[in-house]
Structure 1
Amino acid sequence: MRTNIPALAATLVGLLFVAPAASECNATTNPTIELRAGTVIGAVDHDVEYFRGIPYAQPPTGALRLKPPVPLKSFGPDPVDATGVGPACAQLTAVDPTPLWVEALALPGVAETLSFGSALGGLGEDCLTISVLRPRGTAADAKLPVLFWIHGGGFSSGSAQMYNGSVLVPQSVAQGKPMILVAVNYRLGAFGFLGGKQVFAEGVANLGLLDQRMGLEWVADNIAAFGGDPDAVTISGESAGAVSVFDQLALFDGDNTYKGRPLFRGAIMNSGSITPTEPVDSVKPQWIFDTVVEAAGCASAADSDKVECLRGVDYETLVNASNSVPGSLGYYSLALSYAPRQDGVALTASPEVLAQTGKYAQVPIIIGNQENEGTVFALFQANITTEAALVSYLNTIFFQHATPEEVAGLVATYPENPDSPGGVGPSNSTYAEFKRLAAILGDWEFILMSRLLLDTFPATVPAWSYQASYESGTPILGTYHTTDVPQLFVKTDDVSAAIQALYISFVDSLDPNNYAAGTTPSGYLTAWPTWQDGKQLLELGTESTRLIDGDARAASFEYIRAHIGSLHL
């Protein structure tokens, strides 16, 4: 049975356009904030005050391109007009060029669905901005808790502008737990996550993570002026944003202090946590670097001059070069071209090693996944019709440092037609190995990695975990990757109200069980024990919640844990 790609077009839009970006000013007086750097003018949309696109670092252009961010001390003589949407960072805007995309792209609507960059608007290199969204009329001395959101997009796409506070912020007010939502832009693709020995030699790896950290420092310095509490920040994100959340926990071996105070007190990770990776100067990132350098016309430069050559090319040339490598919605799937990697300074080891050795800020967390994380990323490998082909694919594209026998051993822990939580019903198979590949990708990148992280948490630091199944009826995909984002930011049904209540409670008190009584539908909220208390997950279903055991696919989990040193990206 072939995948009905056109029928999935609307579904895949959820990967990319999850929240309206624009806000209309409907007040006669725009809210104004005085910061050390200057004046910021915002807008009001119903019950939310928006301050979007506030610069927090100097433009990373010219001599500052491909270098760590530099703080911005002054906006200049004019106030910052934060009434619009603000810029989005340069990103991958085209689909994966792999030839196996050709058949899929020939079907109606697919190319338009997946070539999404133009819809973001305002793409550019001068994009290191932050947005603050607060309840209307927030007093300067309100000391509201802060949710600091890091967007997803495979470290190569997405923006803070895709998320607004029109649902979540008013919900926090309605529950008597008002909060401020902050969203940060960070450099993407080759601009923010380029690897290679030349990048390592210059000490300019993981720039996107350093951007995020500077955004947190900006919050520490400035959020009080918006009525926020710099000592009550929860960092949160989805997909690559969730991976970034753990990286922020583990940055500099877990030192999350700034001016002697912690930058955050809690963390929420939706669909992402630890991703085992090879170093920044290893074979895979070197291939990406060499490809980008070739596409940018810098291949003839001496090795020591190649990064400097990239700094000198025009913006469009570097954008096109950044787009010359495979994307995550295609044959290479979650074998990401751009990703955080250990550089010996910001990230001193692979994330799972940092977790296992306790080198991360151990703050209370919520961490969870969608039931069918891998289905979206297994749509375009229709040539994988045998177990041998599946082993070869994983060994060649993903686990290049593992032996074929090690990869075959991993595959052997999965049945040929796995059902949930790693696949969907038997009638929804699209090619012979689709469901098994979907299960492996979903487990390795998301579900079982979060379990590995949870098992490192000490008993004294509470951690809660969930699994979502509220979209289980979606053909082919099930409860697929990103279905949680509209639940949090857009929807207002019973399921979303329950999820929002749990998150708002956690941001307010570091305990998701302190939600306001009577503000959520009956049947949806169950007392949620910590992971340490029985290793149970809160299943977020279509009509209710319940507790389930968190030990699904134990054989696969134990195999990955025993061989994780070889199963690196």
Structure 2
Amino acid sequence: MVYLASVLLALAGSALAAPALAPEAELQNITARLVDMDHIQYQHLASRGIFPGVSVSSPAGTFNGAARPDVEAFTGIPFAQAPRLAPPVKYTTPFNNFDATIYSPSCPQFIGTTKPGGDFFGQIVNALTNTPFLQVALNQQEDCLNLAIYRPKGTKPDAKLPVLFWIYGGAFALGWNSMYDGGPLVKASIEAGKPYIFVAINYRVGAWGFLHGKEVTGAGASNLGLQDQRVALEWVADNIASFGGDPSKVTIWGESAGAISVWHQITLLDGNHLYNGKPLFRGGIMNSGSIVPAQSSTSNKAQSIYDKVVSATSCAGKPDTLNCLRQLPYKEFFDAANSVPTAVGFDSIALSYLPRPDGKWITGSTDDLLFAQKFADVPFIIGDQEDEGTIFSLMQAKIAGSTDGIVGYLSSLFFDQATKEQIKGHVLTYPTDITAGSPFGSWIFNEVYPGYKRLAAILGDMTFTITRRVFLKAVFSVRPNTRAWSYLASYNAGTPILGTFHASDIVQVFFGILPNYASKNIRNYYANFVYNLDPNDASGGTSQNSKVRDNWPKWDPVNKNIIQFFAYWFQPLKDTFRQASADSLEKNRQVFRI
């Protein structure tokens, strides 16, 4: 829920910054001030004819978008159909004069539990997110596979601009593309002299995208969310040239589950990212996420979730439960799918729904695929927020924070294939001293309950920060010529309880709500990478306004150089902190599988 709250705060910030609506004549004179508004305001103005239209004809059809002062937006473009618990189906008939000025539905969300007597906080979240206001705002529907395209105003079909393809995060349980208006990013890219086209997609989450089990796997319906992402990339390959984009210069970017999805796209089909003989993307940016050592889609863990969902429906005991689930009324399936533990409660990031090896799309755990060199050879940026684990450790006070309590927690919910001795050995790499915990550098403060800061350090490291180092070391062990840059973000240091928390980069980098040194320069690094596959290279584009003062060194296994982002300065950092924990994760990766 903190993830969702951070995004809502970002949207609220842009809403507060926008002027009040005025008569049409006055609005015509102030539209230049409204580029960074949230999408609700934008839709209101567009519906009143304040923004002129713009049209693009592509192989997928003719799409009528809206021209803002600096950016042209085409939103809600369908790229595939989404039959329940079945692979996406591409449209074969072009759309005629499709209205791409409004946002289409979000996919069904898994934000809070519907299970009576289940996790208390999850039930509260479910009650809040099922209020009429949020239901209207989210407009959840199963037919939800659509994308949004934002480009510089006046872009010609032959512009051949690079493309930044966004995959949202949300614990594989929530997220929708209209949450991420790409207009401000494109405007910033224009100002930096590196104009690009931004594409944001919807993909299925929760049970709709990541339900597993032998029934689902046997039907080829595992990892549907990843299949949605791949079909969206293929749509871009087929159509983005008509919007002025270059399909040979696509960079995929994601945060949290989106970053994990980026690595999955790099390893999908054993690293085959070709479509019609050409690469679907040429680089990746991963904010908070990489490998997730995972048990298979037919494992006991995966099957237990499927069985729980079935047992909560009238399909229990039926001979073909999968087909029955497909035919259920929407609300019955929704309530059953969302009756399992959520990421906002005690179970935290022991996720009910996540990508799992299915033998086809993902042929093995992505850490094993890495060592087998079954991944696309592309350069990438990868990094983390300094305090990734704080928002995931707020609800575990009842484990009392002792070593044995943490070991029991991790054993029962996360790593059922590891012995308690193996888990305890890992936990003991983290001191009990609260000054060593997360939020890091906060001395004796922010200990919400005994052991909070220690657990926050453990969960953040094993899911994101230190796993990133294990990942990088493995990449260079099999492909030493890889080009990679890594970072640690500390620009929100001092935030009470949370520090520089997971997903705070959505506010700082994506939305740029805090227009400080960090926001501008990280965006410039990314724009340079989109253009030149090097965050330091400001050449090309329309100018070199994206030049950055601080050189970002490449990561390599000898020097282990990364960059640390603070709000008003950057500094070099050695990627050697908490090395004993990194060694433990590396040694135990085949039993530390979720």
The TM-score with structure 1 as length reference comes to: 0.92
Alignment-derived partner of residue 367 in structure 1: 382
Alignment-derived partner of residue 551 in structure 2: 527
Does residue 186 of the first structure (1) align with residue 186 of the second (2)? Answer: no
The offset of 1:98, in angstroms, is 9.1
Q: Which of 86, 102, 115 is the aligned partner of 1:67?
A: 86
Distance 2:472 2:510 in 1: 26
Change (3 A) 1:473 1:12: farther
In the TM superposition, 1:306-455 aligns within 5 A as 306-385=321-400, 386-417=402-433, 419=435, 422-424=438-440, 425=442, 426-455=444-473
* Aligned-partner SS, 1:89: coil
Distance 1:377 1:114 in 2: 22
* Aligned-partner SS, 2:433: coil
Q: Which moved more, 1:14-23 or 1:111-120?
A: 111-120
Change (3 A) 1:452 1:114: farther
Distance 1:451 1:256 in 2: 24
Alignment-derived partner of residue 25 in structure 2: none
Aligned residue identity for 1:388: D
Distance 2:84 2:206 in 1: 13
Change (3 A) 1:97 1:65: closer
Distance 1:399 1:518 in 2: 49
* Aligned-partner SS, 2:398: coil
Does residue 485 of the first structure (1) align with residue 500 of the second (2)? Answer: no
Q: Given that residues 153 and 240 in structure 1 are in contact (C-alpha distance below 8 angstroms), is that contact kept between their aligned partners in structure 2? A: yes
Distance 2:102 2:481 in 1: 44
* Aligned-partner SS, 2:530: helix
Q: Given that residues 101 and 331 in structure 1 are in contact (C-alpha distance below 8 angstroms), is that contact kept between their aligned partners in structure 2? A: yes
Aligned residue identity for 2:460: G
Q: Given that residues 335 and 397 in structure 1 are in contact (C-alpha distance below 8 angstroms), is that contact kept between their aligned partners in structure 2? A: yes
Q: Which moved more, 1:163-172 or 1:90-99?
A: 90-99
Aligned residue identity for 2:404: A
Q: Which moved more, 1:43-52 or 1:238-247?
A: 43-52
Alignment-derived partner of residue 222 in structure 2: 205
Query: Residues 371-394 of structure 1, C-alpha deviation per residue, up to 9 Å, x if partnerless?
Result: 000000000001121221111001
Q: Given that residues 30 and 42 in structure 1 are in contact (C-alpha distance below 8 angstroms), is that contact kept between their aligned partners in structure 2? A: yes
Alignment-derived partner of residue 3 in structure 1: none
Q: Given that residues 13 and 113 in structure 1 are in contact (C-alpha distance below 8 angstroms), is that contact kept between their aligned partners in structure 2? A: no
Distance 1:258 1:518 in 2: 33
Distance 1:96 1:391 in 2: 28
In the TM superposition, 1:82-481 aligns within 5 A as 82-94=100-112, 102=120, 112=128, 118=135, 120-302=137-319, 305-385=320-400, 386-417=402-433, 419=435, 422-424=438-440, 425=442, 426-455=444-473, 456-457=475-476, 458-481=479-502
Change (3 A) 1:414 1:96: farther
The offset of 1:113, in angstroms, is 8.3
Q: Given that residues 54 and 82 in structure 1 are in contact (C-alpha distance below 8 angstroms), is that contact kept between their aligned partners in structure 2? A: yes
The offset of 1:171, in angstroms, is 1.1
Change (3 A) 1:195 1:172: same
Q: Given that residues 193 and 544 in structure 2 are in contact (C-alpha distance below 8 angstroms), is that contact kept between their aligned partners in structure 1? A: no
Aligned residue identity for 2:347: Y
Aligned residue identity for 1:358: Q
Query: Residues 532-555 of structure 1, C-alpha deviation per residue, up to 9 Å, x if partnerless?
Result: 272111100122001100111100
Alignment-derived partner of residue 21 in structure 2: none
The offset of 1:112, in angstroms, is 4.5
Distance 1:289 1:102 in 2: 22
Distance 1:261 1:283 in 2: 38
Query: Residues 198-218 of structure 1, C-alpha deviation per residue, up to 9 Å, x if partnerless?
Result: 112222100110000000000
* Aligned-partner SS, 1:142: coil
Distance 2:436 2:71 in 1: 39
* Aligned-partner SS, 1:428: coil
Structure 2: gaps spanning 5 or more residues: 12-37
Alignment-derived partner of residue 520 in structure 2: 497
Distance 2:268 2:299 in 1: 20
Equivalent residue pairs, number? 550
The TM-score with structure 2 as length reference comes to: 0.88
Distance 1:11 1:349 in 2: 29
State percent identity of aligned pairs.
Answer: 43
The offset of 1:279, in angstroms, is 0.3
